[in-house]
Structure 1
Amino acid sequence: MKHLCILGAFLICPIMANADSAQPNFLVIMGEAQGWASMSVPQDDRNPEGSMSSFIRTPNLDSIAQSGIRFSDFYASSPRCTPTRAALFTGRNPARLHMTFVGESKKEGGVNPGDRVIAPETTSQLPAGIETIGTLLKKQGYGTAHFGKWHVGRENPQQSGFDENDGPNSNGGPENADEPNPKQCYTTAKLGMDFMTRQVNADKPFYLQISHYPGKQPESATPEMIESVKRRLGNRMDMMRIGQAAGNEEIDKTIGLVLAKLKELDAIKNTYIIYTADHGAQGRNANGALSNGKGTVWEGGLRVPLLVSGPGIKAGQFSHVRASTVDVLPTIMELAGVAANALPKDLDGVSLVDVLKKDPSTPPPRDHEEIVVHFPHYDKDEIGPASAIIYQNWKMILVFETENRLLFDLSKDIGEQRDLAQTNPDIVSALDTRMMDYLSSVRAGMPKANSDYVEGGEKSGDRKGGKGGKGGKGGKQKPMMKEEPEVKPEAN
C-alpha cells in the first residue's frame, strides 16, 4: 500500500482512479498562527534571514521542509482561522462561502458608533452537504479522521466526512480550556497515532488531519520544555518570548512523535507530508521581513509556510510559485488519482502536483490568476475592513472605510513600505476591476456605509496597530513611504 501523509493546513491527498491501484495515505498537520518566521529554517531562499525565527527551534518541521519542497509565496486564504480552515476543507474561497470572519465573542458582528462601515453578515458553519476532503476521500474507500482545532461550526466533523474525530472544537479544545496545550498537542498526537496504526493494520488507506492549538504562552508548554528553552536562550529573551518558543517547540516535539510512528509502521517512505498554517503570527513585528500579522491583509497576516514531502518530490527545493490554501484539496485529489472532472465545479483552487513533481518554477494554469483575500471586518488593523488582491508582482489593498487603494510591488518591496498608488493609477484601476469582478462573481458580502457614524466614537475590533490607510507609522515599523517617482514598475 502506498501511504501519503500531509502535515499542515494544506491537505494534499491523492486518490487512485483505478480500484486495483495502491492508494496513498495522508497526514495533514495545520499550525495555528504560524507565520513566515515561526520555524528555524527559512521559508524563502531569496530572503533567508527574514523568513525564519531567530529563537524558536523546530527540528521536526525543519525535517519536513528539508526533505521536500517549501512554497515561499504561499498565502492563507484569510488572516483569520475559521475562513482559512474552511478553504482548506473545501477548496473554495471564504468569500464564496460567506465565511470571512470568526465567531469568538458576542461583540464580533456588532456595530459601534466609530465604525464608518457596517461589515457584512457571515457564517462560521460549513454549508450543509458541501463536499470536503473528507467526503471525497471516503468515496474512494479511505478512513478519515480529524483531531484538534476544528473551528468551522458546531456540527460534528463526522457530518463533513471525518468519521473519527474529537469533536467540533474551537480555541479552547474539548475541555474549553484557556490554554489547551500542552495537554492537547500530546492528546491529538496519540489519537492520530492510534488511528494510523489501526488503518495500516487493516491495510486501509487513510486521511488524517491534526490541527494544532496555539503555542504562544508559557502556559502552553511543560515546565521541562520552558526550562530547556531558558537554558538555551539565557538572558536574551523575556519570559513571553521564552514561553512562545517553548509552546511552539512542544508542538514540534509531538509532530516528531507522529513522524516516528509513521517510520515504525513502515509507512513514511510512501507518505506525503504537508504542513501549513491558518494565518500569520500575531503582532506587527512577528513575521520576519513581512509587515504586520494576524487579523490584517498585510503580508505578515497572509503569507504562511507550505511544506510538502513525499514520493516523487525532490528534497531541498524552494518554489516561488504563488499558491494559496484553496489549492490543497485539488492537489490531494490529483495525487489520489481522482479525475478533475469528478470534482465539484465551483472550486477556486487548482492542483499543484506538477509543481511538486515536475517543475517547481512553473505555475499551474488558472481561470483566475489573482489571489483575492476578502476581509471586510473590523479586527486587528487600524485601517479597518479591507480586501487585498495579489497579481503578478503587484499587491493592492482596498481600505473600505476611506475607499483608499494602496499599491505595492512585492518583487521589490516585500515589507510593503512604499505605496505606489498615486504614481500608478492605471495599475490600481486594473487591479481594482479585477478584484471587484471576482468578488461579484462569487456574490461576496460587502460592507455598507454606517449612517449612524460618529466621528471619534468607539470603534470595533482590536485596532491598536497597523499603518493606517494614509501611510502612517505602525508601532515600531518604519513609516510607509508614499510615491517614489523614480520607480518604474512593469505596466502589466
Structure 2
Amino acid sequence: MRVLIAILLLLLQTMGVASDRPNIVFMLSDDQAWNGLSVAMHPNVSGSKEADFHTPNLEKLASQGMRFSAGYAPASVCSPTRISLMTGKSPAALHWTKAAPPETGHKLMEPRNIRSIPANETTIGELLRKAGYATAHYGKWHIGGGGPEQHGFDESDGDTGNENAYQFKDPNPVDIFGMADRAAAFMEKNAKVKKPFFIQLSWNALHASENANQATLTKYERQLKGENRKRITTAAITEDLDTGVGRIMEAIDQLGLFETTYVIYMADNGAGGGKKVLAGGKGGVWEGGIRVPFIVRGPGVKPNSWCHTRVVGYDLFPTFCEFAGIAPGKMPKGIEGGSIASLLKTAGLGEVKRPREELVFHFPHYQGDAPHSAIFVGDLKLLHFYEDNRDELYDLSKDIGERDDLAAQRPAETKKLRERLDKYLAEVDAQFPSPNPNFDPHQPVEPKERGGKNKPGKSTTN
C-alpha cells in the first residue's frame, strides 16, 4: 500500500509540474532571407527588411517579443539544418552537410553524407514527450528515418519532403492553412486536459511560390509590375505564409494561452541578402546563406526588444529542455548548443554558454560556392576555402556584408582562427572534400539538376 501511495504521489507531482510548464510552438520557414520580411532584423541596417513585402503578423510577433539580429541557421541548406534542430548537434558532427546530391567534375570530390536520421539519435521530440509534453510535427520533415512519429512525435504529416509544397494550391497554398488548422486542433485538444505541448510547424513555404493564392499573386503583380516573376511569386507566398503565422497566433490567443506559450520563428537557411546587404546565399556559409530571421515571444520576454548576441538554431534544443524543466544531465551527449533562455529573461543581454566558444559552419561541397567552412569568435569571422587553401577574415561589427577581407592585415588572428577551425573539425570528426584524380580543368562542369527546388514531384534535395 505504501508503495502504491508513493507512486500516486509521484504521478500527481509530475502532472502538477507538467501543467505548469510552458507550451512551445516552433515555426520554421523554408528558404527565407534574413531581410525577407517587412519587419527589420537589425535596428541599424536599413536593408534588413523587405519594404515591398507585407508580413503584418510577423511584425506583430516581433513587437510582442525579441528579435535576434544575429540569428543563424545551422546550415545553408535544408536537411542539415533540420537534423541539427532535432538533435542539438552541428551538421558537421552529424555528417549531413548538404541536401542535394554531390556534384562531379570539380577539382575536389565531395564527401558522402548520411541521408536519414539515425535511430540512435535522441530528438527534442523524444525528450519533451518523456518529460510529459504532447508533441506534434506538421509540414516538411525531410530527414527520413521513418518520419516524425518514429522520433518522438505523437502526431505528424508523415515522412514528407518537398513534394508537399506542390500538391497544395489556392485556397490552401503549399498547405499553409491546413497545417495551421491541424496545429490549432492539437493545441485545443491538449489545452482542455491541461497538458503542455510542443508543436513544430515546418512550413513548406517559400517553396512552390507559384502556388500562392491567386488574390495575393494579383496584388503583387500590380505592386511589383515590371519585376521578374520569381520576385512576384516570392512576395505572394511570403504574405500567405504570414497569414498562416497569424492563424497560429490567433489560435493561441483564443485558447487563452498567450501568457504560457513560447512562439519561435526562424528559417531553415538564408536565401541571399537581397539588395546587396549580405554576401552569398543558399549553399554557402557567407552571411546570406546562414543568417536568418529569428524571433521569440513568450513568458518573460520583453516586448519589442532586441538581442545582438550570436545564436544558432541548435541552441534551441537545450533552450526547449530548459523551458520544460529537463536537467542538463538528462540531455544526450554531444549537444553543441547552449540555452538562450537567459537572454530572453535579461532583455537580450549576455552570452550563450556552449561547450565551445566558437561557432563553426561547414560546407565541404559545391553549390553556392566551392567547398568552404567558417568560424566565428566574437565579431571576427574566418572563411576557409579548400580548393586553394585560402583564408578570408571579416569583422562583422563593421562589415556585415563581408566586403573588406582583413586576412592580409591581421595575419596573427587569421592564423589563430584557422587553427581553431581545424581543431574543431577534427574533434567532431567532420568530413572533408578530397582531390579528384580525374579532374580535367579544360572540361566544363555540367550544371547540377536541382530536383525539388521548384519542380513538381521532386523531393530529394534542398
Report the TM-score, using the length of structure 2 for normalisation. Answer: 0.89
Change (3 A) 1:179 1:363: farther
Preserved contact between residue 52 and residue 288 of structure 1 (Cα < 8 Å): no
Cα distance in 2 between the residues matched to 1:309 and 1:392: 26
Q: Does 1:151 align with 2:139?
A: no
Preserved contact between residue 145 and residue 209 of structure 1 (Cα < 8 Å): yes
Q: Does 1:339 align with 2:327?
A: yes
Which shifted more, 55-64 or 360-369? 360-369
1:429 is displaced (CA, Å) by 1.0
Cα distance in 2 between the residues matched to 1:101 and 1:179: 32
1:127 is displaced (CA, Å) by 1.5
Q: Does 1:67 align with 2:64?
A: yes
Change (3 A) 1:317 1:202: same
1:214 is displaced (CA, Å) by 2.7
Change (3 A) 1:216 1:176: closer
Q: Does 1:242 align with 2:232?
A: yes
Cα distance in 2 between the residues matched to 1:238 and 1:437: 45
| 1:32 corresponding residue in structure 2 | 30
| 1:111 corresponding residue in structure 2 | 104
Change (3 A) 1:179 1:169: farther
1:100 is displaced (CA, Å) by 0.7
1:451 is displaced (CA, Å) by 1.4
Q: 1:445 aligns with which of 420, 428, 431?
A: 431
Q: Does 1:377 align with 2:365?
A: yes
Change (3 A) 1:288 1:175: closer
Q: Output one character per residue of 1:429-483: Cα deviation in whole Å (capped at 9) or x when no partner.
A: 11111011111111011111111111132336669xxxxxxxxxxxxxxxxxxxx
* Aligned length in residues: 436
1:237 is displaced (CA, Å) by 3.7
Q: 1:270 aligns with which of 236, 244, 260?
A: 260
1:178 is displaced (CA, Å) by 10
Look up the SS of the partner of 1:51 in the other structure.
Answer: coil
Q: 2:374 aligns with which of 371, 385, 388?
A: 388
1:80 is displaced (CA, Å) by 0.3
1:228 is displaced (CA, Å) by 2.8
1:24 is displaced (CA, Å) by 1.5
| 2:302 corresponding residue in structure 1 | 314
Preserved contact between residue 136 and residue 156 of structure 2 (Cα < 8 Å): yes
Q: 2:176 aligns with which of 185, 195, 198?
A: 185
| 1:85 corresponding residue in structure 2 | 82
Identify, as 1 or 2, the structure richer in helix: 2
Preserved contact between residue 380 and residue 461 of structure 1 (Cα < 8 Å): no
Q: 2:199 aligns with which of 192, 208, 212?
A: 208
Look up the SS of the partner of 2:265 in the other structure.
Answer: strand
1:154 is displaced (CA, Å) by 4.9
Q: Does 1:166 align with 2:157?
A: yes
Look up the SS of the partner of 1:296 in the other structure.
Answer: coil
Look up the SS of the partner of 1:20 in the other structure.
Answer: helix
Cα distance in 2 between the residues matched to 1:216 and 1:122: 23
1:330 is displaced (CA, Å) by 0.3
Cα distance in 1 between the residues matched to 2:187 and 2:275: 34
Preserved contact between residue 287 and residue 293 of structure 1 (Cα < 8 Å): no
Change (3 A) 1:180 1:413: farther
Look up the SS of the partner of 1:435 in the other structure.
Answer: helix
1:96-135 mapped onto 2 (5 Å cutoff): 96-103=93-100, 108-112=101-105, 115-135=106-126
Change (3 A) 1:359 1:267: closer
1:20-59 mapped onto 2 (5 Å cutoff): 20-21=16-17, 22-47=20-45, 49-59=46-56
Change (3 A) 1:286 1:461: farther
1:73 is displaced (CA, Å) by 0.8
Cα distance in 2 between the residues matched to 1:133 and 1:257: 25
Preserved contact between residue 120 and residue 447 of structure 1 (Cα < 8 Å): yes
Q: What letter matches 1:99 in structure 2?
A: W
Q: 1:400 aligns with which of 368, 372, 386?
A: 386
Q: What letter matches 2:359 in structure 1?
A: I
Preserved contact between residue 98 and residue 122 of structure 1 (Cα < 8 Å): yes
RMSD: 2.3
Look up the SS of the partner of 1:407 in the other structure.
Answer: strand
Preserved contact between residue 37 and residue 287 of structure 1 (Cα < 8 Å): no
1:337 is displaced (CA, Å) by 1.2
1:174 is displaced (CA, Å) by 7.9
Preserved contact between residue 25 and residue 198 of structure 2 (Cα < 8 Å): yes
Q: Output one character per residue of 1:391-440: Cα deviation in whole Å (capped at 9) or x when no partner.
A: 11211111111111111111111111111112222111111110111111
Look up the SS of the partner of 1:341 in the other structure.
Answer: helix
1:387 is displaced (CA, Å) by 0.7
Which shifted more, 121-130 or 345-354? 121-130
| 1:487 corresponding residue in structure 2 | none
Change (3 A) 1:266 1:435: same
Cα distance in 1 between the residues matched to 2:230 and 2:206: 11
Cα distance in 2 between the residues matched to 1:177 and 1:198: 26
Could you list the runs of 5+ residues in structure 2 that have no partner in the other structure? 1-12, 450-462
| 2:460 corresponding residue in structure 1 | none
| 2:287 corresponding residue in structure 1 | 299
Change (3 A) 1:325 1:443: same
Look up the SS of the partner of 2:164 in the other structure.
Answer: coil
Look up the SS of the partner of 1:147 in the other structure.
Answer: strand
Look up the SS of the partner of 1:348 in the other structure.
Answer: coil
Look up the SS of the partner of 1:455 in the other structure.
Answer: coil
Preserved contact between residue 133 and residue 196 of structure 2 (Cα < 8 Å): yes
| 2:342 corresponding residue in structure 1 | 354
Percent of matched pairs sharing the same residue: 37
1:395-474 mapped onto 2 (5 Å cutoff): 395-459=381-445
1:227 is displaced (CA, Å) by 2.0
Q: What letter matches 2:374 in structure 1?
A: A
1:183 is displaced (CA, Å) by 4.1
1:184 is displaced (CA, Å) by 1.1
Cα distance in 2 between the residues matched to 1:160 and 1:440: 29
1:365 is displaced (CA, Å) by 2.7
Look up the SS of the partner of 1:146 in the other structure.
Answer: strand
Cα distance in 2 between the residues matched to 1:183 and 1:372: 33
1:251 is displaced (CA, Å) by 0.9
